Structure 1
Amino acid sequence: MEGLEIGKKKAIWRDERAIALLMAAMLTTMANATISPALPGLQRLFAEDPNAAILTRLLVPAPSLCVAFCAPFAGLAADRFGRRRLLLGGVMLFVVAGSCGLFLPDLRTIFVSRLVLGVAVALIMTAQTALIGDYFSGTARSALTGLQISARNFGGLLFISLAGWAALVSPRLPFAIYCLPIVVLPLMWKVIVDTARPSPKQAADMINGADGSPTWRLLFMALVFLQALTNMLFFIVPTQLPFFLDAYGENSAVMTGSSLALLMLTGGCFALLYPRVRRGVGYVGVFAFGYAAMASGFFLLTVSEAAAKVFAGAALIGAGYALVSPTFVALVLNLVPAERRGLAGGILTASVFIGQFCSPLLSTPAISGAGYQGLFRGTAVLLATMALTALAVGGVGHLAHRLHGRRGSRTHAALVSASDQFGGTASAAD
């Protein structure tokens, strides 16, 4: 694929560090959804527990709550103690906590193990994001941020499929899938090393910027908020689509499974195209196209509940989300000083899971007031507005660049980079 080069000749998929980080990315999807096919069997297995119905349903989102809470602290630890310790420790904890369901005696202890699994995911995701920034730059970094979204989507398809077959044998057997990271742990141990850390004076200069301006923090927090909002809107699909289809008399289990599989497959394929799309239209253009595709997908859901339109809507939403998601990581790694990449990665990780957690809390009351059609229509309008706003920001940034020229601050450089790339030109930031 064009542009996936590291150094002079080495393709990114041949770089062992990139392979190790992509394997780590697959674990984040594996954390929550892998046991989903086993939930009915687990409820029957622990039927004597009076809270079995609610506890089994909490097993899937439980890790997300811990990730949202722990990720910023994991980021601080990554900046202080190094990324290698966090990544390797997180993978080992992931294997232990994830596989505990094979032998734990009741749902309460399994639920606690799922919370510990969330801590492991926070360590892995935070260290992984920081390491991408430490190891790669330019087109290689941009390519890897897209490839990690593909890894998550294709990994989700693989692990959920394996879990479905395993659950036919025993509701406990899907927990064995969490042992698979042992296979890649030796590679991570070999190739993941911490880069040289800057001196205190260099760190202070990077944090404050050449002109002492702290305004990069404002742009960073805006990106964090936008990512949380994006994930909140995207998560409407897996949380509300089954009930939407059921309300219209469709076979919700089959339709939902097929729709989500298509969403992940489409997302994985479009994430592979991310480097080319980003080079063609720039970061702002990616936001505009991504949000426009998601808006079109939600609009199709308002047109009809027919299978073809539901599948097409899910495919568009998956494609748009796969284009937008890598952009947050790429922009943040370009913007944030190296000394703060761990903390930035932790906060960015937390925003993903906060958005997912808030999604059903806000969308369910909206359904009560406006129905599914109202929810999907309102979401489509909001996403279309976000797409138009991205185009407007790109135009304003390009105009500001032409009027005022380049200045020295990190924040201004990031904004100019975005406006330059929106027009398809190369950027020093890359």
Structure 2
Amino acid sequence: MGETETAGRRALWCDGRAVALLMAASLTVMANATISPALPALERLFDGDPNAAILTRLLVPAPSLMVALVAPFAGLLADRLGRRRLLLGGVLLFVISGSAGLLLPGLPTIFASRLVLGIAVALVMTAQTALIGDYFGGQQRSAFAGLQISARNFGGFLFISLAGWMALFSPRAPFAIYALPLAFVPLMWRFIVEPTSPANLRDAAVVAGGKAHRGWLPAFMALLLLQSVTNMLFFLMPTQLPFLFDARGINSAVMTGTALGVLTLAGGCLALLYARIEGWIGHGGVFAVGYGAMALGFLLLVLSEAVPVSLVGTAMIGSGYALVSPEFVPLALGMAPGSRRGLAGGLLTASIFIGQFVSPLISTPWIGSVGYEGVFLGAAGLLAAMATVAAGIRWARQAPSLSAR
């Protein structure tokens, strides 16, 4: 199995389509968290705005609202009109709307540009997810899911770390990073081709008549809910971590950039091993280990204000999230019929960003009641419970085979 996985990964790296899709995947982290290190400085820059506190915190998850609203419709468009045009148009819109914060005069207009950015992300991520199902199948699809999370995390490490240093010069400077995807367009233009049939029927279950996909919606919706909750908890990092450091008297711009850089770098490295780990411990084991690591990371952030401990905590959260995130794509694409992959990709994308958008709406008033440490401790407890349930499900599924022996 190890040699097969290695050969499959090498084949993906030699496939221009895969490389182009990995470039598109890196935009997910860039869309929201790139400006995170500049949030406290932006709040001070626009302190004359009576809504500066809430608007500043909503700048990070603002794209998520539009993704949640637009992605399902983008999925329908992907099924009917094709994936290529959605992907390329979305990247160009991403560049224009993302970098607009360099010039816009105030927080309301910047917030509006972030909503447009969300439309761009919906187009890009929906088309990208559908193309994964169209281009790849079986073990290759699972291997790509791990590489996709690595691309997001390594891209996040580069973009967020760069943003942390740029924010020292100007709170607007990180918006310039959104122009970088212009460099991706030529490769995408060349290698992203429209599949001969959006309803790719290479999967054996679909070829057999789609019986495996009957009644797919209930399980699919449960998977979407789990993904939303996962992202809601994970998004405490870019939206509330800067203010936690600020409250502790730490240089929030540099420390946030460093901490989120460590988070994404650790996640990117671990995601490269996802296919192998999943083969060892199965889906339930991956969820148990991943959620357990995230719980430990949040606990470390509460227990100590020491910088090394905080960085270890963020690394644990990034590693755990990088383990569970790849699970959702192959599971979802395996549930959905081939003719509904665009819709499935849209709903899957929407569930990620619904969780991200509601995260500060829930956590900000919660912080007002129990403080930052209380919220992070609560997140640790919920993730520990999720890890326990996942471990119990895995054990229950293994018990019959063990007793048979």
Q: Normalising by structure 2, report the TM-score.
A: 0.86
Specify the alignment match of 2:215 in structure 1.
215
Name the amino acid aligned to 1:131.
L
Name the amino acid aligned to 2:260.
L
Name the amino acid aligned to 2:299.
F
Specify the alignment match of 1:153 in structure 2.
153
Task: List aligned pairs for 1:4-153, cutoff 5 A.
Answer: 4-6=6-8, 11-37=11-37, 55-104=55-104, 107-153=107-153
Q: Secondary structure at the match of 1:184?
A: helix
Task: List aligned pairs for 1:30-429, cutoff 5 A.
Answer: 30-37=30-37, 55-104=55-104, 107-166=107-166, 172-197=172-197, 206=206, 210-211=210-211, 214-398=214-398
* 1:360-406 CA-partner distances (Å, limit 9, x unpaired): 23233444444444433333232222222212222333457899xxx
Measure, in 2, the Cα distance between the counterparts of 1:400 and 1:214: 26
Name the amino acid aligned to 1:88.
L
Measure, in 2, the Cα distance between the counterparts of 1:43 and 1:49: 9
The RMSD of aligned alpha carbons is 3.4
Asked if the contact 2:259/2:311 (under 8 Å) is kept, the reply is yes
Q: Normalising by structure 1, report the TM-score.
A: 0.81
More divergent stretch after superposition (392-401 vs 257-266): 392-401
More divergent stretch after superposition (42-51 vs 380-389): 42-51
Name the amino acid aligned to 1:116.
V
Specify the alignment match of 1:424 in structure 2.
none
* 1:269-321 CA-partner distances (Å, limit 9, x unpaired): 11111121112112221111111111222232343333333222221111101
* 1:177-229 CA-partner distances (Å, limit 9, x unpaired): 32322222121112112223278999xx9599644874321111111000111
Asked if the contact 2:301/2:376 (under 8 Å) is kept, the reply is yes
More divergent stretch after superposition (13-22 vs 241-250): 241-250
Q: Which runs of 5+ in 2 are unaligned?
A: none
Measure, in 1, the Cα distance between the counterparts of 2:134 and 2:59: 34
Check 1:97–1:80 CA distance in 2 against 1; reply closer, same or farther (3 A cut): same
Name the amino acid aligned to 2:7.
E
Check 1:385–1:99 CA distance in 2 against 1; reply closer, same or farther (3 A cut): closer
Specify the alignment match of 1:416 in structure 2.
none
State the number of aligned residues.
401
Asked if the contact 2:199/2:340 (under 8 Å) is kept, the reply is no
Q: Secondary structure at the match of 2:26?
A: helix
Q: Secondary structure at the match of 2:300?
A: helix
* 1:231-286 CA-partner distances (Å, limit 9, x unpaired): 11212233333444455555555543332222111111111111211121122211
Asked if the contact 1:71/1:347 (under 8 Å) is kept, the reply is yes
Cα distance, 1:145 vs. partner?
Answer: 1.0
Measure, in 2, the Cα distance between the counterparts of 1:316 and 1:300: 9
Check 1:189–1:53 CA distance in 2 against 1; reply closer, same or farther (3 A cut): same
Cα distance, 1:355 vs. partner?
Answer: 1.0
Cα distance, 1:66 vs. partner?
Answer: 0.9
Measure, in 1, the Cα distance between the counterparts of 2:269 and 2:213: 40
Name the amino acid aligned to 2:396.
V
Asked if the contact 2:37/2:256 (under 8 Å) is kept, the reply is no
Q: Secondary structure at the match of 1:11?
A: helix
Check 1:82–1:230 CA distance in 2 against 1; reply closer, same or farther (3 A cut): same
More divergent stretch after superposition (106-115 vs 339-348): 106-115
Asked if the contact 1:4/1:12 (under 8 Å) is kept, the reply is no
Measure, in 2, the Cα distance between the counterparts of 1:378 and 1:4: 39
Asked if the contact 1:207/1:339 (under 8 Å) is kept, the reply is no
Asked if the contact 2:36/2:238 (under 8 Å) is kept, the reply is no
More divergent stretch after superposition (37-46 vs 267-276): 37-46
* 1:146-188 CA-partner distances (Å, limit 9, x unpaired): 1111111221222234445555666555434323222221211
* 1:52-74 CA-partner distances (Å, limit 9, x unpaired): 66555543332221111111111
Larger Rg: 1
Measure, in 1, the Cα distance between the counterparts of 2:165 and 2:242: 21
Measure, in 2, the Cα distance between the counterparts of 1:48 and 1:382: 38
Cα distance, 1:120 vs. partner?
Answer: 0.6
Cα distance, 1:99 vs. partner?
Answer: 3.0
Asked if the contact 2:164/2:253 (under 8 Å) is kept, the reply is no
